[in-house]
Amino acid sequence: MKRSHALTVAFALTVFAFPALAQETKAGDLTIQRPWARATPKGADIGAGYLEIRNAGAAPDRLTGGSADFASGVEVHEMKMDNGVMKMRLVQGGLEIPAHGTVKLAPSGYHLMFTGLKRPLVKGETIKATLTFEHAGPVAVDFPVQGIGAAGPAASPKSDSMKGMKM
């Protein structure tokens, strides 16, 4: 590999890797990845947050809730079909993150419910919440806010610009 090409590759990896790292938070054996939230319409008193939690440890942990300055509470909820009707419920006692396992919080499944919103969640902003785990303790997480109907976290423009780049 020529020296100038090697420097270009090193620069690209440095510049483009950091946005991806910003979407990952570690706490003990837990890794929280791809957090995001949906924007809310004006006047809404609840919002939703999503993420993926990996547990590399030999013991399970439990997500029990959390706190946020933009809401009165952060709860773990589940949506599921029951006799053809989609129902949502509070997950009593929290959500287990199994040892050597991964739990995904996504639309139409497990999710974080931001209750008692003090203001709307606006597309393009980043909100901060502290999640509470039984063993890992409190973990601060940044949630980029996507559009009201978003199905998942948007790819960052920087990561999109890597498409087609040869290294």
pLDDT digits (tens, 9 = 90+) for 4-50: 444 444 434 333 333 433 479 999 999 999 999 999 999 999 999 99
pLDDT digits (tens, 9 = 90+) for 133-152: 999 999 999 999 999 989 98
Per DSSP (E only), the strands in the chain are 24-27, 30-38, 46-55, 61-68, 71-82, 85-90, 95-97, 101-105, 110-115, 126-133, 137-146
**Separation CA 74–CA 95 (nearest Å):** 13
Higher-confidence position of 161 and 95: 95
Asked if 74 and 143 touch (Cβ cutoff 8 Å), the reply is no
